[in-house]
Amino acid sequence: MPGPFFADANSGYENAQYVICGVPFDGTSCFRRGSNLAPREMRANSYNFEAYSSFYDIDLSEVNIHDAGDLEVAQDIDSTLDLISVHANKFVTDGKIPVMLGGEHSLTLPFARACKNKYDDLGFVVLDAHMDMRQEYEGEINSHACISRHIYEEVTQKYASIGIRSGAREEYEYVREKRIKVFSADDVFSMGIEKVIGEIREDISGPVYLSIDMDAVDPAYAPALGTPEPYGLTPRDVRTVISCLAPKIVGFDLVEIAPAYDSGGTALLGARFVRDFIAASARARS
Ligand code: MN
Ligand code: MN
């Protein structure tokens, strides 16, 4: 029976290794709004799946998962980032692995920062269709279109992105100039995802934060997005990234689903990725 919390999140906070939280905020989204409804929809869809994962051979009902519910948000992005950073810092300081359900991509920043405060050599891997390397977008520096720029300039230069197929010419020039590791969806198609991950691991071998912007996935699999881009990754590509990085992942988020634009399949896939991350990570740590 679907509850208000994520399926198999049966642990109290104290004993939890994984703390799920929703952040229902979509204030800077530009094309289609509605990612504020995604945490609720992912939770509802999480009840579709068996507790036992045959792929990872682990039972999620035996993993210490806590769902802290939705965090309080404000009307504007700056106040919202302030509000949620308090929780992000607490989760990480308390030794938890935060699992943030967005909401829009700008919400990643306080969670990545919290992890960087704890792990000085933190790497950051993002799956996204978009560069998100703008300095500002429509006058807003904390727009979801700027998140990767903030991460690279303010959090860690051990940064890599996978699935990219959209950006302004200036963003492409910026990453070329800085020699930032950007793997397009076409790179994944031609090289294979394992080779891409291998190249990323040359630079990022320590603790890593994994951020999944759902629009990295092809809109054929995930149509309910704020800013859909064709020619994307497959769900299997994403699962392979999750599997390979899981042993090192210290923070995770899944953002940018806009549930109103399909009949539930995208939130279902999002819930699957979240469950697979927890299963892969718990498996690696067991
Ligand atoms: Mn993004
Ligand atoms: Mn995107």
Write the pLDDT tens digit of every residue in 12-53. 999 999 999 999 999 987 778 899 999 999 999 999 999 999
Tell me how far the alpha carbon of residue 246 lies from the centroid of ligand 1, in angstroms. Answer: 21
Tell me how far the alpha carbon of residue 49 lies from the centroid of ligand 1, in angstroms. Answer: 27
Write the pLDDT tens digit of every residue in 96-120. 999 999 999 999 999 999 999 999 9
Tell me how far the alpha carbon of residue 94 lies from the centroid of ligand 2, in angstroms. Answer: 30
Q: What whole-number distance in Å separates Cα of residue 245 and Cα of residue 127?
A: 12
* Domains (range + CATH), the chain: 18-285 (3.40.800.10)
DSSP state of 72: P
**Which residues, including other chains, have CB under 8 Å from residue 217's CB and lie 6 or more apart?**
127, 163, 232, 233, 234, 235, 238, 269
* pLDDT tier, 2 (very low <50, low <70, confident <90, very high otherwise): low
* pLDDT tier, 1 (very low <50, low <70, confident <90, very high otherwise): very low
Write the pLDDT tens digit of every residue in 212-248. 999 999 999 999 999 999 999 999 999 999 999 999 9
Write the pLDDT tens digit of every residue in 178-213. 999 999 999 999 999 999 999 999 999 999 999 999
Tell me how far the alpha carbon of residue 61 lies from the centroid of ligand 2, in angstroms. Answer: 32
Q: What whole-number distance in Å separates Cα of residue 278 and Cα of residue 259?
A: 22
User: pTM score > 0.85 for this model?
Assistant: yes
* pLDDT tier, 59 (very low <50, low <70, confident <90, very high otherwise): very high
Mean pLDDT confidence for 141-153: 95
Q: How many residues does the chain have?
A: 286
Tell me how far the alpha carbon of residue 12 lies from the centroid of ligand 2, in angstroms. Answer: 33
Tell me how far the alpha carbon of residue 127 lies from the centroid of ligand 2, in angstroms. Answer: 8
